[in-house]
Structure 1
Amino acid sequence: MQLPMAVEALSGLAHASRLAVFRLLVRAGSDGMAAGNIAREVGALPNTLSTHLTILGNAGLIRSRRDGRSVIYSADYDGMRDLLGFLVADCCAGRPEICGSLGELATNADCCS
């Protein structure tokens, strides 16, 4: 991931509602969720949610697909991995004892246990 895309992804997450939507979609897994269900879960108005979803999509953090009359949104796990990789690429200047084990964070996360 290059710096401009990382900045766009981080900017996309730098809003409480968008971060809540992204985290909800990460928890939803690859099945994703319909826009209406997302709106109910995060308490967003449809037009506001639409803007948030567009920003997250442009940032490479979520994907959408049509299922009949519904649009289903899901986290873009490749985009998430790319962003996380960018953030830790030069972790601690080659001194892992400074950072601790980032792998343990993923292993111990609620979603992964």
Structure 2
Amino acid sequence: MTARDAVSGFAALSHPVRLALFRTLCDQAPQRASAGELAHGFDIPPSTMTGHLQTLERAGLIKAERRSRFMLYSLNPEGTRRLVRYFVDECCHGRPELTGTDEEAAAAAALMEAS
């Protein structure tokens, strides 16, 4: 993943509605949902919902599949993994004290104190 791709992914997730949509699709993975189904709980017009979904799709975080006259949306696991890997590897340099569990962070801190 390039830095440009990562910026696109982070930008897509920077809006509260898109972040909520992404989380919903993560929770439902691997199931698909229509824009109408995803719109429940949001007080926004359908065209705005479609725009948010298209932004997430262009960033490679979700997939869209046409079924008759409906679009069905689902999580793109590979795109999501690539963005997370970029963040961990390129931004945090894989440092367990920044990216791991509390136990890994404690172990890393103990190693740093011991050296």
With normalisation by structure 2, the TM-score equals: 0.78
Residue 69 of structure 2 is aligned to residue 69 of structure 1? yes
Unaligned runs of 5+ in 2: 104-115
Q: C-alpha displacement at 1:31, in angstroms?
A: 1.7
Shift of 1:32: 1.4
Look up the equivalent residue of 1:7 and give its one-letter code. V
Separation of aligned partners in 1, 2:99 and 2:9: 25
Q: What is the distance in 1 between the residues matched to 2:19 and 2:84? A: 15
What is the percent sequence identity of the aligned residues?
36
Q: How large is the Cα RMSD of the aligned pairs?
A: 2.0
State the 1:92 CA deviation. 5.0
* Higher radius of gyration, 1 or 2: 2
The CA deviation at 1:94 is: 6.2
Per-residue deviation, 1:45: 1.6
Is 1:35–2:30 an aligned residue pair? no
* 8 A contact 1:20–1:42 mirrored in 2: no
Alignment size in residue pairs: 102
Quote the offset at 1:46 in angstroms. 0.2
What amino acid is aligned across from residue 74 of structure 1 in structure 2? S
Residue 79 of structure 1: aligned partner: 79
Change (3 A) 1:88 1:65: same
* 1:95 Cα deviation after fit: 4.8
Give the ranges of 4+ consecutive aligned residues of structure 1 lying more than 4 Å apart after TM superposition: 90-95
* 2:100 is aligned with 1:101: yes
